């Protein structure tokens, strides 16, 4: 059996490994460290949780133990897709290089440029960075990459995804052609592998497990959910999630819950907190200090449930995660392997459970095709349709639903006019007020003879009160619609108001 002492590592590195409690390297470590120490390019493919980070940190520390960095000119460069993964790599260097005088700098977003500039100005042996922040420092003239001897791309398939290719190509163009390049990932699609051929020169390919295979120590399962109504789907998914957690009981010591969208991360975390579960969100839109506090709390056992986007799916090492819940089926099959790889690490047992609704069945088929085996179906923890007071589709915040509104022509009208009377002959209809003729103008109202408009006052009916607005708008005029000599208008035949029959000449004469 191979031991770390057989891999020609620096004695000070071996001492740090022993103090960390490791004796035997994992297959990826045993396969990748020797060619890396020889100076060859390496393409390492292995399952998550198999120690890929140590596969490049240990030989890098050994090779960099001799020599010293110059100001603004790092001697090695490690690129990571997320801030959390970059911080984790930095912690690994601190662990294994504590007996070697090497300096490092961590360049990630959400942190002050000033502090990072001070480290770079002193000169660093190891530069660990995300692509965006690295290019920011270079464009500000604070960084020179012409002295990089070893370059590592961690989680290479994601780093070489379409969105990262321009940045990666630019960074590679800034480094010397004679550099040594190491690529590591859990998955390597054929089209991505073709791209790596442009960056690697005759690499040693180390593949210790079939690509995109999940660890055998992880028990997998999926709940097929058919929502009672489309607008209740998200609410019922959250109920299923709570039921799955409750069904695991004390076995679920802690868990990571993955969602596809950032807004769903916040929604699920808020819902779990409302029902008494200790949960907190983490995704790319949160402030870096908040993300760091949340992740540290989860690692220290202070937080039980970490609700995360795929920012936590890549390379995040929390050894004691007992469960992974996929609230959403990932849209990319490879992401499923990375997500469930957060549990069952380093030979431990773990459990991965997923909720699949009708619209996600195609993505589920793609995952099973990638794994080359079906995922066992689980019984839904919801034994009966959700109760009405549990439905929160209206506000999507687990609150009581609002009553449904229906449009009505009679809404906000007095009760007396809500029901239209059936049609009868005009002579039998007696109305309190006749409708105003369309052709009547403002001048017709004000120029009518006074004798045609004067009449004894009476208490206004509710309809009259409404018509007084016309009187007020006519600058104090006393005319009100519908007022005749007998206060009642029957139809519009022979009983029309007298002023309408007057000619314009007679009105002017009056």
Q: In 3D, which of 183, 191, 184, 187 has the Cα closest to residue 214?
A: 187
How is residue 244 annotated by DSSP?
H
For 151, the token pair is: 């370059």
Confidence at residue 477, expressed as pLDDT on a 0 to 100 scale: 43
Strand partners, 128: 78, 106
Confidence at residue 247, expressed as pLDDT on a 0 to 100 scale: 93
Q: In 3D, which of 211, 231, 262, 255 has the Cα closest to residue 354?
A: 255
For 57, the token pair is: 């940190």
Token look-up 């071996």 returns: 14
Please give the full DSSP string across 224-243, using - where no structure is assigned: E---SSGGGHHHHHHHHHHH
Domain extent listing, the chain? 4-207, 218-390, 425-509
pLDDT in single tens digits along all 510 residues of the chain: 689 999 999 999 999 999 998 989 999 999 999 999 999 999 998 876 678 899 999 999 999 988 888 889 999 999 998 888 898 899 999 999 999 989 999 999 888 899 999 999 989 999 999 999 999 999 999 999 999 999 999 887 777 665 677 888 899 999 999 999 999 887 776 766 777 888 888 899 998 865 566 778 899 999 999 988 889 999 999 999 999 999 999 999 999 999 999 999 999 999 999 999 999 999 888 887 888 899 889 988 999 999 998 876 665 677 789 999 999 999 988 889 888 988 887 678 899 999 999 999 999 999 999 898 999 999 988 765 544 434 344 444 444 444 455 554 444 444 444 444 444 444 444 444 444 444 444 444 444 444 444 444 554 444 444 444 444 444 444 444 444 444 554 555 556 666 666 666 665 665
d(CA 480, CA 461): 12
Confidence at residue 170, expressed as pLDDT on a 0 to 100 scale: 92
Q: Does domain 4-207 have CATH number 3.40.50.300?
A: yes
Contacts of residue 46, defined as CB under 8 A and 6 or more positions apart, other chains included, come to 26, 27, 28, 52, 184, 186, 206, 207, 208, 209
Element (H, E) at 152: strand 150-154
Number of H helices, E strands in the chain: 19, 16
Confidence at residue 157, expressed as pLDDT on a 0 to 100 scale: 74
4-207 and 218-390 agree in CATH topology:
yes
Question: Do residues 76 and 150 make contact, with C-beta atoms less than 8 angstroms apart?
Answer: yes
118, exposed or middle or buried, with CB in 10 Å at 0-12, 13-18, 19+? exposed
Confidence at residue 495, expressed as pLDDT on a 0 to 100 scale: 60
Confidence at residue 462, expressed as pLDDT on a 0 to 100 scale: 44
- SS3 string, 77-112, reads EEECCCHHHHHHHHHHHHHHCCCCCCCEEEECCCCC
Q: Which CATH class is domain 218-390?
A: alpha beta
Contacts of residue 503, defined as CB under 8 A and 6 or more positions apart, other chains included, come to none
Confidence at residue 500, expressed as pLDDT on a 0 to 100 scale: 66
Confidence at residue 158, expressed as pLDDT on a 0 to 100 scale: 73
Confidence at residue 356, expressed as pLDDT on a 0 to 100 scale: 96
d(CA 146, CA 132): 18
Phi, psi of 107 (to 5 degrees): -110, 100
Per DSSP bridges, beta strands 489-490 and 76-79 are: unpaired
The CA R_g of the chain, rounded to the nearest whole Å, is: 38
Question: Do residues 161 and 167 make contact, with C-beta atoms less than 8 angstroms apart?
Answer: no
Question: Do residues 477 and 471 make contact, with C-beta atoms less than 8 angstroms apart?
Answer: yes
Burial 274-300 (b: 16+ CB within 10 A, else e): eeebebbbbbeebeeeebbbbbeebbe
């Amino acid at each position: 059996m191979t031991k770390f002492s057989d891999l020609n590592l620096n004695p000070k590195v071996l001492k740090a490994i022993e103090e960390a409690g490791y004796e035997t390297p994992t297959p990826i470590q045993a396969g990748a460290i020797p060619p890396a120490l020889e100076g060859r390019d390496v393409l390492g493919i292995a399952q998550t949780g198999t120690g890929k980070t140590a596969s490049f940190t240990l030989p890098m520390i050994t090779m960099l133990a001799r020599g010293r960095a110059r100001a603004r000119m790092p001697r090695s460069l490690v690129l990571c897709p997320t801030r959390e993964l970059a911080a984790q790599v930095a912690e690994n260097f601190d662990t294994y290089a504590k007996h070697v005088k090497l300096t490092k700098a961590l360049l990630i977003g959400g942190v002050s440029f000033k502090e990072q500039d001070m480290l770079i100005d002193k000169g660093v042996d190891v530069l660990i960075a995300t692509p965006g922040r690295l290019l920011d420092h270079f464009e500000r003239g604070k960084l020179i990459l012409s002295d990089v001897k070893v370059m590592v791309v961690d989680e290479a398939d994601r780093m070489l995804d379409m969105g990262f290719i321009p940045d990666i190509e630019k960074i590679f163009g800034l480094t010397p052609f004679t550099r040594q390049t190491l690529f590591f990932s859990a998955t390597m699609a054929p089209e991505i592998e073709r791209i790596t051929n442009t960056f690697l020169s005759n690499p040693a390919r180390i593949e210790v497990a079939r690509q995109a295979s999940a660890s055998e120590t992880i028990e997998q399962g999926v709940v097929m959910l058919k929502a009672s109504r489309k607008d209740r789907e998200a609410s019922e998914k959250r109920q299923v999630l709570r039921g799955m957690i409750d069904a695991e009981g004390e076995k679920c010591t802690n868990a990571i819950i993955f969602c596809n969208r950032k807004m769903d991360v916040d929604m699920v975390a808020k819902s779990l907190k409302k029902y008494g579960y200790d949960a907190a969100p983490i995704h790319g839109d949160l402030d870096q200090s908040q993300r760091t506090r949340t992740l540290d709390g989860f690692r220290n056992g202070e937080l039980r449930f970490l609700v995360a986007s795929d920012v936590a799916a890549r390379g995040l090492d929390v050894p004691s995660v007992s469960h992974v819940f996929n609230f959403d089926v990932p849209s990319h099959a490879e992401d499923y392997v990375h997500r469930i790889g957060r549990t069952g690490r380093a030979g431990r047992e773990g459990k991965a459970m997923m909720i699949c609704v009708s619209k996600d069945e195609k993505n589920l088929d793609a995952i099973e095709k990638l794994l080359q085996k079906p995922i066992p179906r689980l019984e839904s923890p919801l034994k009966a349709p959700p109760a009405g007071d549990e439905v929160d589709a209206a506000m999507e915040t687990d609150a009581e639903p609002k009553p449904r509104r229906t449009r009505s022509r009679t809404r906000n009208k007095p009760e007396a006019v809500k029901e239209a009377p059936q049609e009868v002959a005009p002579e039998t209809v007696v109305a309190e007020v006749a409708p105003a003729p369309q052709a009547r103008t403002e001048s017709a109202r004000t120029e009518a003879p006074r004798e045609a408009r004067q009449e004894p006052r009476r208490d206004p009916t509710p309809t009259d009160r409404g018509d007084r607005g016309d009187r007020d708008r006519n600058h104090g005029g006393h005319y009100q619609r519908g007022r005749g000599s007998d206060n009642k208008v029957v139809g519009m035949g022979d009983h029309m108001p007298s002023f309408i029959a007057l000619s314009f000449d007679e009105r002017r004469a009056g």
